[in-house]
Structure formats: structure tokens, C-alpha cells
Amino acid sequence: MAGMSKRPLPILFRPCAFREIVSCLCNVPSAVRCYLLPQFSLGFDESAYIGTSFGPSGWWLKFPKLHYCLFNPPDRNEAAKYSSLDTRRPTVLLVTSSPADSEAGTLIRDLVIRHSPGGNVVVISLGNDIPSGVPQCFSTVLPAEISQKDLRFLIRREIGILAARVQPVVGIVNSIVCTPALEAMWREDIPAIHIVEDSTTDPLLQDELAEAACFSGARFFDRHAYLARPDAFEENVIASKSKELADRAIIREDGCFDVGFAYPRLTSRKELALKYYTSSWQTGMFRRKPFPGFHPGIYADHHPDIARDPLADFIHSGKPAGPWLSEVIEPKSAKGLPKLPISLKAALHLHLHYTEPADEIFRLLVESPFRPDLFVSVTSEEGKQTILEKLAEFGLACSDLRLVPNRGRDIGPLFTGFPEIFSSGYDVIGHLHGKKSDYMKRNEADQWTRFLYENLLGSSGLMVSTIMKVMQKTPEIGLIFPDDPSVFGWDDNRDYACSLGEKMGLGQLFDRGHFNFPAGTMFWARPQALKPLVDLEFKWQDYPEEPLGSAGTMLHAIERLLPFVVEKMGFRWAVTHVPGVPR
């Protein structure tokens, strides 16, 4: 009828959907066979596949493996691809982007000459086949003109298929473009060597190159340096991988590795998390702690001659006591304490330059059976009005709400904005702030903030009461802060720390390689334990002006010096841990 709009075709009859459904139906038998192969899941990286241009979308995101089997017909016989390789012979793997050029050809020939008499040589190349005249070499060619995300999945899959057939004794990557192969080799526990002779101005490739350092056993920026002693270098990375596997076996058998603490995103993949952990301490990159209360770096500092992973050595040595172990306070810690009323007088300073976190902080305070006196600092009249409204909304009393300069981040408002708190008769002083880390991704910053709040206030308000009870029972504890699983060091703050430490008479107390400190500068402390810092009587002009970076200021130095100041005053410190709250 004229003037009436056409109704859209049902989804089953739309051309694109119809073709997809027909394709699915035709591929079902072979897809099921592929899906049911025992080797199929080996080396299949779901997250990498989802990120590709040919990966799933919509409801298929729930079934990435099934999508792969249905819509990638060329890979039907992938499990048999390397069936001709003799599994009794050692296999060497090379991944290169330019096998036809003279330099890559020289490397391939060297591998064939040294390994083919008694072993297999496999070459995975991008875009081009290997040079003619190179016998006894099994080669696979992947498409060259593809995105890095697509390449990451294809290389990961290819190496996974190979490793399901035969485990290479060593792998070599001969290009920046092929850097994703290093992670693929690392996942399959293939000792890897990276030869980087090409260059790139692509920031994504540069980032990949930097991050890939934690996946390679050795890196060379000159092919000739590697070819001068190839057997020795290969033996070194093979020995290093063997040691790492032995360390992982020790840790795995002991069962002390807490994946929910160390790598909360990998709780369902504990073996992968353990692999990340041992690799991080082997390479020195992205290091994490394995369980609350233990710092592998401090253990290694006190045992400089150990030849294995610090945690593995700690376990092998019978878990000896020492400064590498910290007292851990959890919500359940209060159960073992006498049921006495809390007699401590406590103050809590909140600096809320960013007022958005006030809701979360105030909610946790309302839930707590113990209420400290509240002191709040803000940096604007608008912020002051907002906090007044939120205090009224939550029914919280505030001893003082003070407007301060936007200087000194959260440290200045505590030591310069409210110096009288330290001499007002309080037994314990808490310090929190509305954290916002602009250099971090939003979700990571939010998770860190929640981690800090929950550890110092939360778990239905139990942490405040528990911390107060512990400090009431244990007067020698002068500082309590969350045990952050990330491992930080002095970074660019050492010079500032040395200067401040000298003023406070710390001497060589803080001259350590690894140490614990309240990362994020949130804590509970006894006023007398922080006296050296208070006595410095910081003025507003002493603090650096905004904007500030993520390190390299006196404020970041003070953050790291807190436990040393506490020890200087004869106190010790403890850490908190709330199970189920990730960082």
C-alpha cells in the first residue's frame, strides 16, 4: 500500500545472515572434528583471537573456539601440519619476517648446518618462503600484510600447533615485526632468543619490543654477536629455562602461591599466573609478590648468592623467618584478640581534592563499628560545599573541614594543613585521600583505589576496628598499610629520599634494594612514629607545584620513607590483606 514503510526482513532471510548460516551448516562436521581434537585447545589464545579482524563479535564472543572452527576452513588440517617432524629429534624454531634477504638466509643456513644432522629446523616466516638452496628445513609462511593483533593470534596459534607435535629446544626471533612470537614461545616454555637488527618508528611496535624483553632469554642487537657463539648462547637460554621450570615445580608443589593476590585476573589459570610470576623475577620486569606478607626482593637482597627464584629458594630452605616476612592483618585477625573495647583515641585525615571518592569512603565509615574523629581537607570552595552536603547525607560528624592550597598532593594537607593533629593526644592517625592516577587506565586506577580503601576501612567496616584492636594490643606497631602485590622501588626518587633521610638522621637505614612501603600513601600510624617527618615542619612553598608526574618528587620520596622513619623511632610496621579484593 502506498505510503507504508517496508517491514525489515527477518534476520534469517537477510543476505549476509543467510550466507553465514549456510557457511556454518556446511562446516559443522569438520568443525566438530576440529573442536574435539585433544590438541586443539593447546596454543589457542581466546583473548588474542577475539582481538583479530576475523574474530568473533556479538553473541559469538561467548564461543570463540567454536567460531574459529566454523569460520576458518583453511585451518581444518592444522593438527597434522607438523606430523612429518621426527619427535625423537631435537627441534629448533626460527620466526622471521624476511627469510629471502641475505642476512636472514645466513641465519637459516647456520641453523640448518648446526642442527639438521641430528634435529629438525622449523622456519615460520611472514610473506615470503625461505631462500632456495636451503635443504632439510620445514617452513610455514604466514601472511605479511596484516595487523599486529591478527599476527599475534596467527603466530601464537602456529607455535601452539608445533609445540603440540614436538617441543622445540630453542626458538629464535629475527625481527621486531615478529616480536609476538616471543610471548608465544614463552607460553609454550620454549627458550627464546631475540635478534633485533631492524628498526621501527611505529610506537605500537616500540611498546611491544620493550614489553617483549620479559619473554626472551637473551636479546641481541647485532646478528654477528649471536653468530659468534651461537651454541653457547643457546645452551645458556636452555639452561635458564630448565631452572625456571624446576623453580615452578617447587612453588607449585608447596601450594603457597596465592594467584588471587598475585594475579587476580588469572584466578582460573593458575599455571599461567605462576609462569608470569617466575618470569618476572627472572627478567626483573613487572614483578609481583606471590602471597601476602612475603617480599621476594627483600629475601633475594639478604641471599645474594642464591641460584634459583627467591620464592623457590625460600621454600627449599624451609621458609626461614626474616625481614622478608611481614605481619599480615586480615579481617579475621580480630577473632584471636581479647574482646575488649577499643580505648585508642584515633583521628582520620581525608584529603579530597577529588570529591568523587567521598561517597565510597563515607559509606565504609558508616559501616564501621569504630568511628575515628574526622578531619577533611579540600582545595576549593566548591569542593568544601560538596563535602558538607555528603557529610550530612551520610550522617557523619567532622571535627574540621579545611580549605588548603592545591600543593603537596595529599602529603602537604596532612603535615602542613593539619600539623596540630600530631600533638592533639591521638593514639593513632589515619590518612586517606581521593586518589586519581591520571597516568593509569581508569579501571586500573579505580581498582587500586578500592583496594586501598577496603584494606584500611572496609570489609563491612571490620578493617578499621581490626586495625585499632591490633594496635591497641601491640604498641610496638607504629605503621599499618595495605600489602600491595606490585613491587616498587626507589625509581627516580632516591636523591630526594637521601636528602630528606639525612635531615631526619636516617643514615644508611634506607639504603636497600627492595623494601615495603605504603604505595599510594594511605595508612594508619602512631603520631610519635612519624615524629621525624612532623619535626621537619614543611611549609607550603616546600612542596613542588602542580602538575606533577608519577615519580621524581619529594612527595614520592616521603611515601617511600615512611617505614624507615617508623623504624628509626623504634617501631615496626605491619601490612593488611583483605581476601577477595584485587589489586
pLDDT tens for 374-383 read 999 999 999 9
d(CA 353, CA 351): 6
- pLDDT band with cut points at 50, 70 and 90 for residue 77: low
Please give the pLDDT value at position 148: 78
In this predicted structure, the answer to whether residue 4 has a pLDDT above a threshold of 60 is: no
The answer to whether the peptide bond before residue 131 is cis (omega within 30 degrees of 0) is no
State percent of the chain over pLDDT 90. Answer: 54
In this predicted structure, the answer to whether residue 74 has a pLDDT above a threshold of 70 is: no
- Rounded to 5°, the CA angle 293-299-300 comes to 140
Give the best-scoring range by mean pLDDT among 125-139, 325-339, 487-501, 515-529: 515-529
H or E element in which residue 218 lies: strand 218-220
Please give the pLDDT value at position 11: 39
H or E element in which residue 366 lies: helix 358-367
Return the CA Rg of the chain. Answer: 29
Q: Which tops the pLDDT comparison, 435 or 575? A: 575
Please give the pLDDT value at position 205: 66
Mean pLDDT in residue range 501-525: 88
Mean pLDDT in residue range 414-436: 95
Please give the pLDDT value at position 20: 58
What residue type is assigned to position 24 of the chain?
C
Q: Which residue has the cell 607545584?
A: 545
Determine whether 286 is exposed, middle or buried from the number of CB atoms within 10 Å of its CB (0-12, 13-18, 19+). Answer: middle
Cα 436 to the center of its chain, rounded Å: 19
Give the best-scoring range by mean pLDDT among 128-132, 199-203, 225-229, 294-298: 294-298
> Per the structure block, which three cell numbers stand in for 5?
514503510
Residues 198 and 169: beta-carbon distance below 8 Å: no
In this predicted structure, the answer to whether residue 15 has a pLDDT above a threshold of 60 is: no
Give the best-scoring range by mean pLDDT among 77-81, 152-156, 221-225, 267-271: 267-271
User: What DSSP character marks residue 294?
Assistant: B
In this predicted structure, the answer to whether residue 474 has a pLDDT above a threshold of 90 is: yes
The answer to whether the peptide bond before residue 547 is cis (omega within 30 degrees of 0) is yes
d(CA 457, CA 477): 18
Average pLDDT, the chain: 86
Residue 525 bridge partners (DSSP): 429, 479
- pLDDT band with cut points at 50, 70 and 90 for residue 43: low
Please give the pLDDT value at position 113: 85
Mean pLDDT in residue range 465-491: 96
pTM of full prediction above 0.85: yes
In this predicted structure, the answer to whether residue 134 has a pLDDT above a threshold of 60 is: no
d(CA 108, CA 111): 5
Mean pLDDT in residue range 78-100: 81
In this predicted structure, the answer to whether residue 99 has a pLDDT above a threshold of 80 is: no
Helix, strand or coil, per DSSP, at residue 350: strand
Mean pLDDT in residue range 123-128: 80
> Per the structure block, which three cell numbers stand in for 580?
577477595
In this predicted structure, the answer to whether residue 155 has a pLDDT above a threshold of 70 is: yes
Please give the pLDDT value at position 160: 87
Cα 368 to the center of its chain, rounded Å: 31
Please give the pLDDT value at position 449: 93
When mean pLDDT is compared across 108-117, 244-253, 331-340, the lowest value belongs to 331-340
Mean pLDDT in residue range 328-353: 89
Please give the pLDDT value at position 473: 94
Q: Which tops the pLDDT comparison, 475 or 435? A: 475
The alpha carbon dihedral of 430, 434, 437, 443 has a sign of positive
Determine whether 582 is exposed, middle or buried from the number of CB atoms within 10 Å of its CB (0-12, 13-18, 19+). Answer: middle
d(CA 391, CA 395): 6
pLDDT tens readout for residues 353-395: 999 999 999 999 999 989 999 999 999 999 999 999 999 999 9
d(CA 187, CA 276): 9
d(CA 63, CA 46): 9
pLDDT tens readout for residues 179-233: 889 989 999 999 999 888 666 666 766 777 777 777 877 777 777 888 889 999 9
Mean pLDDT in residue range 146-154: 83
Please give the pLDDT value at position 108: 81
Helix, strand or coil, per DSSP, at residue 173: strand
- pLDDT band with cut points at 50, 70 and 90 for residue 131: low
Cα 525 to the center of its chain, rounded Å: 28
Please give the pLDDT value at position 482: 98
Please give the pLDDT value at position 200: 63
Give the best-scoring range by mean pLDDT among 60-69, 233-242, 327-336: 233-242
Q: Enumerate domains of the chain plus CATH numbers.
A: 83-228 (3.40.50.2000), 241-316 (no CATH), 328-337+345-576 (3.90.550)
Q: Which tops the pLDDT comparison, 442 or 571? A: 571
> Per the structure block, which three cell numbers stand in for 273?
599466573
Where do the DSSP E strands lie in 474-562?
A: 477-482, 523-525
